């Protein structure tokens, strides 16, 4: 019997043979959906040849985690030791690091977990080396540092991105603005608020057909591609994760070369060995993580600026704040008084569902 990897290869070959035009768009849509389903099968731990993060995952600490991904010997472990003080074995030979090594940094009062990971190689997503387990850990992180050696070709960047993409990670991207609502009958109806330049209705219908979704309303609010549509259907298998390219070993290049590196978006040139520009890397990390520092002000006293409660965006309501301090607080909660960017009036009384912003000051009034 053909393995999932064989089936993927067959579909990819057929796609390569098929020219994209009006007559083939239904067929191509079907193939793309087939491919996405096969890839999910490959990555689901229970299926044959699958690989989850089991064995490579470690206990999570702190408010957010950052995973280090890169080819062997680009300097991930040197960076880890530099940032966290947690020693992670570094050496001139490849695959020095064989498992996840956790460490922690305290930045702006937030405890952030750093995960040094083994190096991956091209083809990792298809099961080469232990790449799948490594990428599975990265998929659960809130931010990924793609570490690159600036002495190596810049095409490495694209190769690593492909590996992550193939594992369902979407790099520096928001989920596509497409809403699919299932119905009992009535077939497929497609509405779009912008002109669709990449897909036609035939293709969309082919994908929905392949997923056995015969009745649904599809509202498209972006110039989506067929891959975007599939990403929305496969939402459970996708992770939208911010990435910073840590361009390491800049001590080995010239100033002219360094100037070019500064033009790459989402990149931060560094030298792990010498500690050059790692402050900048930490600043970029802070921006990408979008954490919110909430200062507590005991009634009638000054706010405590020394130890903020740090929340992640999306889990940033007054209720989340209460739970971050102690589970029982919500039961005794009457009202909160908030100063800062999240409120119009300074101060303002708010309830549990109110969304807080970075550097808000809060007083909890109990029943």
Ligand X SMILES: Nc1nc2c(ncn2[C@@H]2O[C@H](COP(=O)(O)OP(=O)(O)OP(=O)(O)O)[C@@H](O)[C@H]2O)c(=O)[nH]1
Kindly list the residues in this chain that would bind K ion in the complex (CB under 5 A): 73, 96
Of 252 and 307, CB closest to ligand X: 252
Yes or no: say if 30 and 47 are a contact pair by the CB < 8 Å rule.
no
The number of residues that bind ligand X (CB under 6 A) is 24
Q: Which of 365, 309, 311 is nearest to 338 (CA)?
A: 365
Out of 97, 113, 133, 342, name the contact with Mg ion by CB under 5 A: 97
Yes or no: say if 35 and 210 are a contact pair by the CB < 8 Å rule.
no
- Report d(CA 9, CA 4) in Å as an integer: 9
Put the strands of the sheet holding 216-220 in their side by side order. 178-182, 216-220, 188-192
Out of 25, 84, 133, 248, name the contact with ligand X by CB under 6 A: 248
User: Is residue 100 a contact residue for ligand X (CB under 6 A)?
Assistant: no
The number of residues that bind Mg ion (CB under 5 A) is 4
Of 97 and 284, CB closest to Mg ion: 97
- Report d(CA 66, CA 156) in Å as an integer: 20
Of 95 and 262, CB closest to ligand X: 95
Out of 75, 242, 308, 340, name the contact with ligand X by CB under 6 A: 75
Binding mask 52-81 for Mg ion (x = CB under 5 A): ------------------------xx----
- Which ranges of 139-277 would DSSP assign to H, the alpha helix? 155-165, 201-210, 226-233, 255-261
Yes or no: say if 213 and 182 are a contact pair by the CB < 8 Å rule.
yes
Shortest Å, Cβ 73 to K ion: 4
Of 76 and 142, CB closest to Mg ion: 76
User: Is residue 78 a contact residue for ligand X (CB under 6 A)?
Assistant: yes
- Report d(CA 188, CA 216) in Å as an integer: 5
Task: Indicate the SS3 state at residue 84.
Answer: helix
95 contact, one of K ion, Mg ion, ligand X, none, CB 5-8 Å limit per kind:
ligand X
Yes or no: say if 191 and 218 are a contact pair by the CB < 8 Å rule.
yes
Of residues 262 through 281, those in contact with ligand X by CB under 6 A are: 271-273
Q: Taking the CB of residue 27, how many other CB atoms lie within 10 A of it?
A: 16
* Residue numbers at the binding site for Mg ion (CB under 5 A): 76-77, 96-97
* Residue numbers at the binding site for ligand X (CB under 6 A): 70, 72-78, 90-92, 94-97, 118-119, 248-249, 251-252, 271-273
């Amino acid at each position: 019997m053909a393995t999932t990897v064989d089936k993927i290869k067959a579909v990819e070959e057929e796609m390569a043979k098929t020219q994209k035009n009006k007559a083939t768009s239904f067929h191509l849509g079907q193939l793309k959906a087939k491919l996405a389903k096969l890839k999910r099968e490959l990555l689901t731990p229970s299926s044959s040849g699958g690989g989850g993060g089991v064995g490579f995952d470690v206990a999570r600490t702190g408010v957010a985690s950052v995973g280090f991904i890169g080819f062997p010997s680009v300097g991930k472990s040197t960076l880890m030791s530099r940032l966290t003080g947690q020693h992670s074995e570094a050496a001139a030979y490849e695959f020095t690091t064989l498992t996840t090594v956790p460490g922690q940094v305290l930045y702006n009062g937030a405890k952030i977990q750093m995960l040094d990971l083994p190096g991956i190689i091209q083809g990792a997503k298809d099961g080469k080396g232990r790449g799948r387990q490594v990428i599975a850990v990265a998929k659960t992180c809130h931010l990924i540092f793609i570490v690159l050696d600036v002495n190596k070709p810049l095409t490495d960047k694209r190769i690593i991105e492909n590996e992550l993409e193939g594992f369902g990670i979407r790099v520096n991207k928001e989920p596509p603005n497409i809403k699919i609502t299932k119905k009992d009958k009535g077939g497929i109806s497609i509405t779009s608020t912008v002109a669709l330049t990449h897909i036609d209705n035939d293709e969309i219908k082919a994908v929905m057909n392949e997923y056995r979704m015969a009745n649904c309303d599809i509202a498209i609010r972006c110039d989506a591609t067929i891959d975007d549509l599939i990403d929305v259907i496969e939402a459970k298998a996708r992770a939208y994760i911010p990435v910073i390219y840590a361009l390491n070993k800049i001590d080995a290049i010239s100033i002219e070369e360094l100037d070019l590196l500064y033009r790459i978006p989402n990149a931060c040139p560094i030298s792990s060995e010498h500690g050059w520009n790692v402050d900048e890397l930490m600043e970029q990390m802070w921006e990408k993580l979008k954490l919110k520092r909430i200062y507590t002000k005991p009634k009638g006293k000054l706010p405590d600026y020394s130890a903020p409660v740090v929340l992640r965006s999306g889990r940033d309501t007054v209720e989340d704040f209460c739970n971050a301090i102690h589970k029982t607080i919500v039961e005794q909660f009457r009202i909160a008084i908030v100063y800062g960017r999240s409120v119009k009036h300074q101060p303002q009384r708010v309830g549990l569902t109110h969304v807080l912003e970075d550097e808000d000051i809060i007083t909890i009034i109990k029943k």
